[in-house]
Chains A and B, each alone.
Chain A
Amino acid sequence: MNFTNFGRYILLLKSVFRKPEKLKIYLKEIAKQMDYVGVGSLGLIAIISTFIGAVMTLQIAFQLVSDFIPKTIIGSVNRDSSILELSPTISAIVLAGKIGSAISSEIGSMRVTEQIDALEIMGINAPGYLILPKIISGITMVPMLVIISMFLSITGGYIGGSISGAVTPAEYIQGITTDFNPYTITVALVKAFVFGFIITSVPAYEGFYVRGGALEVSQASTRAVVISCISILVCDYLVTQLLL
């Protein structure tokens, strides 16, 4: 059954990447989706990232019981954890809930109200018109959100450390600027790209093949979020193993 679904998912993706009927209309749709995925999620990502950074600083400081370890380590651990894991993965899981469920229910509702059939009858490639702009917005905007998330998470750590006194601003700054490996940014952006693809394509697949009514649309939406989250975690492990 899962192999059948995977096969249908691949076939759907094949239809998605067919040549667009009219590029101008697709570009307009891509811009709309980028605004929804990127700008629409900015506030949520900003709040989550800042607080996670702040909490991370406090927890690392709490675990540093030895006087032999310099406090600057708090900054560097926070930096690497934020860049490599927290920003890409937590952002992706949050976005899977916010964007994934919206994509699945939007496309699912269009399916049960015959709007997708209407597109196909008109001679329009429905998977391309409905899903391609969402995937492109996902693979471009999620990496951008992750970059913002990294910055805010590290800044959040600075603020949290300063307010609580867990680490001085000078120690924190020294920590985040010592032994920085730019390759970690590459790894994070590869993850963000993969997650952006999963967050948009998996819910689109679930919505596209809905059969039934409102109940099935909501079930598909739930399934889309669950499968997206699991896929994100599996791909997180695979990308980490491959690139580090």
Chain B
Amino acid sequence: MIEIKDIYKSFSGNDVLQGISGKFEEGVTNLIIGGSGSGKTTLLKCMVGLHQPGSGSVLYDGRDFTPMTYEQRIEVRKEIGMLFQGSALFDSMTVEENIMFPLNMFTDQSRKEKLERVDFCLERVNLAGKNKLFPAELSGGMKKRVGIARAISMNPKYLFCDEPNSGLDPKTSIVIDELIQEITEEYKTTTIVVTHDMNSVMGIGDYILFLHEGKKFWEGSNKEIAHTDIKELNDFVFASRFMKAAKDKF
């Protein structure tokens, strides 16, 4: 479980996060949603330590991450897997080398064991046999799936996904969402997905935290989201005519 308490963050006097708190349970898909510039990605980066929060704390199963030393953080980060918005695959490495990279760095497994793990991860994301391709030879959806394969290669306890559906067609988006949900349930990871994709919100949002202008406006599940009377949330979720029409059927 990951818990965030009263996170504040500002850049050059601009308050991006203003006292965000929340609890993200393991084995369920937790979503952080909000419009562009609402502070979603900044919150995610504060949680994984890419940004240092101005104040507040991030607890990984009770371990406060924010005051940790570099060495202590490394130990926590070994338990983290992350899927980036642009996949962030290493261009100079093949798919196999990308997935094997954390294994090479942190395990003493034999090459055979590592290759078996790579094959397992690729099979899990339905990309078996694509070991020798370079990232430039993959489609956007395939890159995301390789990103997921790399993220799960070390059996992470915590899985972070930054806008996993951005730039993907609706069908591939659903494939990625389902994959994230399956992995979360199968490995009991604490999964946090930053998104503004409404299909994801309605499809996999077990717990949703809604941010607006750097503040937490609402939290709940995808079943509850259609029945709130918070204007900012309704304006965000039901922005399109299709969603407005669909709202009545929820």
Residues of A within 8 A of B (CB): 18, 21-22, 25, 109, 113-115, 117-118, 120-124
CB < 8 Å: which of B75, B77, B89, B160 contacts A122? B77
Instruction: Tell me whether B86 and A121 are in contact (CB under 8 A).
Output: no
- Please indicate which of the listed interface residues A21, A25, A113 has the most CB atoms of chain B within 10 Å of its own CB: A113
Instruction: Tell me whether A122 and B105 are in contact (CB under 8 A).
Output: yes
Q: How long is the Cα–Cα vector from A25 to B90 in the complex, in angstroms?
A: 15
Instruction: Tell me whether B74 and A117 are in contact (CB under 8 A).
Output: no
Closest residue of B by beta carbon distance from A18: B70
Closest residue of A by beta carbon distance from B73: A123
Residues of chain A lying within 8 A (CB to CB) of residue B104 = 22, 25
Indicate whether B48 reaches chain A with its CB closer than 8 angstroms.
yes
On whether A123 and B74 interact (CB within 8 A), knowing A21-B105, A21-B106, the answer reads: yes
Indicate whether B84 reaches chain A with its CB closer than 8 angstroms.
yes
Interface size on B, residues (CB 8 A): 25
CB < 8 Å: which of B49, B74, B82 contacts A118? B82
Residues of chain B lying within 8 A (CB to CB) of residue A117 = 50, 84, 88
Instruction: Tell me whether B86 and A114 are in contact (CB under 8 A).
Output: yes
Q: How long is the Cα–Cα vector from A25 to B107 in the complex, in angstroms?
A: 12
Q: Which B73-123 residues have C-beta < 8 A from chain A?
A: 73-75, 77-78, 80, 82, 84-86, 88-91, 101-102, 104-106
Q: How long is the Cα–Cα vector from A118 to B84 in the complex, in angstroms?
A: 8
On whether A123 and B88 interact (CB within 8 A), knowing A21-B105, A21-B106, A22-B104, the answer reads: no
Q: Which B204-226 residues have C-beta < 8 A from chain A?
A: none
Q: How long is the Cα–Cα vector from A213 to B49 in the complex, in angstroms?
A: 22
On whether A114 and B105 interact (CB within 8 A), knowing A121-B48, A122-B77, the answer reads: no
29 A-B Cβ contacts within 8 A?
A: A18-B70, A21-B105, A21-B106, A25-B104, A113-B86, A113-B88, A114-B84, A114-B85, A115-B89, A115-B91, A117-B50, A117-B84, A118-B82, A118-B84, A118-B90, A120-B50, A120-B77, A121-B48, A121-B77, A121-B80, A121-B82, A121-B160, A122-B77, A122-B101, A122-B102, A123-B78, A123-B80, A123-B106, A124-B102
Q: How long is the Cα–Cα vector from A21 to B101 in the complex, in angstroms?
A: 12
State how many angstroms separate the Cβ of A42 from the closest Cβ of chain B. Answer: 22
